[in-house]
């Protein structure tokens, strides 16, 4: 999370120009994906991570999160190859509907409120 926060601070003007002045709202641990170690080697080191993307996240917000990671991926490109992204089941979403309703509309799928 620190890496994403630092990338946001460093490129804040560019992110805000592309995603809007409210995009910084989503630079919070509560709105990030959760990771699980999926495949381990014989020493217990993770070979892949299952990145559970919240079901409520829009494609635009997913693109924003990907861009938050991009500067770091340029430094360590192998990390990107190990990350498998899969949607997180709705019943596992940890952010309440009340909180989702307060977030910028462009980042939250309207279908979660139906």
Q: Which residues contact 80 (CB under 8 A, 6 or more apart)?
A: 69, 73
- How much is the pTM? 0.78
Quick one: pLDDT at residue 106? Answer: 97
> Does 26 score more than 90 pLDDT?
yes
Name the pairing type of β-strands 46-53 and 34-40.
antiparallel
Q: Which of 22, 13, 102, 111 is nearest to 61 (CA)?
A: 22
Query: What is the Rg, in whole angstroms, of the alpha carbon atoms belonging to the chain?
Result: 15
Residue ranges of domains in the chain: 2-113
Cα separation, 9 vs 3, in Å, equals 10
pLDDT at 90 over 60: no
Q: Which range, of 30-34, 49-53, 93-97, 105-109, averages the lowest pLDDT?
A: 49-53
pLDDT at 18 over 90: yes
Q: What is the pLDDT of residue 10?
A: 95
- Strands 46-53 and 83-87, by their bridges, are parallel
How many helices (H) and strands (E) the chain has is answered by 5, 3
């Amino acid at each position: 999370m620190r890496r994403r926060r630092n990338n946001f601070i460093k490129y804040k003007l560019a992110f805000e120009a592309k995603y809007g002045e409210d995009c910084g709202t989503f630079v919070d641990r509560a709105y990030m994906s959760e990771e699980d170690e999926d495949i381990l080697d014989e020493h217990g080191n993770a070979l892949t991570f299952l990145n559970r993307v919240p079901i409520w996240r829009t494609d635009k917000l997913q693109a924003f999160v990907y861009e938050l990671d991009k500067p770091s991926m340029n430094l360590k490109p192998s990390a990107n190859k190990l990350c498998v992204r899969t949607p997180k089941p709705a019943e596992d979403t940890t952010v309440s509907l009340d909180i989702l309703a307060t977030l910028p509309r462009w980042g939250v799928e309207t279908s979660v409120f139906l």
